Amino acid sequence: MIGQADSSVPPMLALAPMQDVTDLAFMRTLTRIHCLPDFWMTPYFRSTRTTCAMSEGPLRCIVENPAGIPVWAQLAGSTAVALLRDAEALMQLPVAGINLNVGCPSPLVNRHGAGAGLLRKLPLLREIALALRAQLPPGAWSVKCRIGWERAEEFSRVLDALCDSHPDMLIVHARTRKQRYAGEPCRAAVRLAVQHARCPVFANGDIQSMDDAGEWLQTVQPAGLMIGRGLVRNPYLLRQLRGGSAATPGEMQEYYATLLEETGRFLERYTPSGHCNRMKKYLAFCYRDFPTEAEYKLRRCIDPSEMGRLLQLSRAGFSAS
Ligand SMILES: Cc1cc2nc3c(=O)[nH]c(=O)nc-3n(C[C@H](O)[C@H](O)[C@H](O)COP(=O)(O)O)c2cc1C
């Protein structure tokens, strides 16, 4: 089973792409606090017939890649012609390869047949996958998919459509489009991918702790784990997964302070409330670690200095007046 982990080798660890969250500010923060995944993946570039998809946010993740670790460029689209055109353009940049998004559940994206919409058109998905495979060099073609549109039983056919193109890496968000971001991830589906795909398979979906990761590794034995919300909440999980120590309260304070600083650097037009609103995109995945009183204040905060103070106090035992 090539998609499976060699149990003597630690699993590969990847940061999941998250539009407006795993951006350059977040990448720079992880670099500064020395919590690095084995590779990054950009949030998706939208590929349409008429538009070249070079949106600035994901593009900066590539050209200003702070840590020099590989970065994959992700494309979301529904026509082979546009995807090939944009894949070719992106391959001129310093990327590890191209990843096709077969999971985005946005109604707007799906209405155009892209993201998870491709799960409803498997012949088209197969055609696109084969075309990208033919164009991309060895090692540079990968897919990130959900396990079906409505039901996990769809996944074996999805897998067939994808595996015909021999991807170099497969990342499975173990949920259907119907489940969006909640509900139990289906381990059996990822196990199926590990058994059938002839490439490294990454498991993705609600890995928030060492216990979650351990369960995936024991029951599914993927070659790697891709983690999104869990790393925004606690980037030091990467260190723990590599056998290191858990985050101390001081390190979490440093993380929040660094993120606040980096976030402020990347606003198009700086306003204090805009800065706080940007921070709240990340904090949405962190509030559960704060006392209710702190969450209440953070959600309403419009002053970055006050936000910084609340974040520091909160982790040290919240008692802000
Ligand atoms: C706000 C947000 C934005 C996302 N943007 C993308 C994206 O651009 N491309 C993609 O493949 N997945 C995207 N995802 C899905 C994540 O990559 C990941 O598959 C999902 O959150 C489950 O993993 P997690 O539980 O570790 O976060 C997004 C998820 C969230 C919550």
Cα–Cα distance between 86 and 170 in angstroms, integer? 20
228 lines ligand 1 (CB under 6 A): yes
17 lines ligand 1 (CB under 6 A): yes
Q: How confident is the model at residue 318 (pLDDT cuts 50, 70, 90)?
A: very low
Do 58 and 176 fall within a single domain?
yes
Q: How far, in Å, is the centroid of ligand 1 from the Cα of 233?
A: 14
CB 99 within 8 A of CB 62: no
Do 57 and 148 fall within a single domain?
yes
Asked if residue 20 has pLDDT above 80, the reply is yes
181 lines ligand 1 (CB under 6 A): yes
Last residue of a domain, one of 210, 241, 272: 241
Q: Tell me the residue range of the domain where 289 lies.
A: 249-315
Residue 6 lies in a domain: no
Last residue of a domain, one of 192, 221, 241: 241
How many C-beta neighbours within 10 Å does residue 316 have? 12
Q: How confident is the model at residue 275 (pLDDT cuts 50, 70, 90)?
A: very high
Chain-centroid distance of CA 172 in Å reads: 11
Looking at residue 50, its pLDDT comes to: 82
Q: Kindly report, residue by residue over 223-274, the tens digit of the pLDDT.
A: 999 999 999 999 999 999 999 999 999 999 999 999 999 999 999 899 999 9
**AA identity, residue 164:** D
Last residue of a domain, one of 241, 259, 287: 241
Do 275 and 138 fall within a single domain?
no
Residue 197 lies in a domain: yes
Q: How far, in Å, is the centroid of ligand 1 from the Cα of 317?
A: 31
Looking at residue 2, its pLDDT comes to: 52
Mean of per-residue pLDDT scores for the chain: 94
Atom 1 of ligand 1 has which residue's CA nearest to it?
A: 18
For residue 256, the surrounding DSSP H or E stretch is helix 249-265
CB 86 within 8 A of CB 158: no
| Total number of domains in the chain | 2
Q: How far, in Å, is the centroid of ligand 1 from the Cα of 18?
A: 5
Looking at residue 6, its pLDDT comes to: 60
Q: How far, in Å, is the centroid of ligand 1 from the Cα of 205?
A: 9
44 lines ligand 1 (CB under 6 A): yes
Residue predicted with more confidence, 314 or 83: 83
Q: Per-residue pLDDT averaged across 154-176, rounded?
A: 98
CB 276 within 8 A of CB 311: no
The string of DSSP letters for 145-176 reads EEEESS-GGGHHHHHHHHHTT--SEEEEEEEE
C-alpha pair distances (Å), 37 with each of 12, 232, 269 = 8, 12, 30
Listed in sequence order, the residues at least 6 apart from 296 whose beta carbon sits closer than 8 Å to its beta carbon are: none
Do 203 and 305 fall within a single domain?
no
Residue 1 lies in a domain: no
**AA identity, residue 119:** L
Atom 25 of ligand 1 has which residue's CA nearest to it?
A: 206
Residue 3 lies in a domain: no
Chain-centroid distance of CA 279 in Å reads: 18
Do 19 and 112 fall within a single domain?
yes
Cα angle value 305/311/314 (rounded, 5°): 135
Burial 108-145 (b: 16+ CB within 10 A, else e): ebbebbbbbbbbeeeebbbbbbebbbebbeeebbbbbb
Q: Per-residue pLDDT averaged across 52-77, rounded?
A: 92
Asked if residue 319 has pLDDT above 50, the reply is no
Residue 5 lies in a domain: no
Closest ligand 1 atom to 171 CA: 19
Asked if residue 199 has pLDDT above 80, the reply is yes
Q: Kindly report, residue by residue over 100-141, the tens digit of the pLDDT.
A: 999 999 999 999 999 999 999 999 999 999 999 999 999 999
| CATH at residue 207 | 3.20.20.70
For a pLDDT cut of 90, what percent of the chain falls above it?
Answer: 90
Beta-ladder partners of 224: 12, 202
Looking at residue 250, its pLDDT comes to: 94
Do 194 and 257 fall within a single domain?
no
Do 161 and 285 fall within a single domain?
no
Do 226 and 264 fall within a single domain?
no
Cα–Cα distance between 221 and 9 in angstroms, integer? 11
144 lines ligand 1 (CB under 6 A): yes
- Using only C-alpha atoms, the chain has a radius of gyration, in whole angstroms, of 20
Coarse DSSP helix, strand, coil percentages of the chain, rounded to the nearest 5 percent? 45, 15, 40
Looking at residue 227, its pLDDT comes to: 98
pTM listed for this prediction: 0.96
Cα–Cα distance between 173 and 145 in angstroms, integer? 6
Residue 130 lies in a domain: yes
Q: How confident is the model at residue 10 (pLDDT cuts 50, 70, 90)?
A: confident
How many C-beta neighbours within 10 Å does residue 240 have? 15
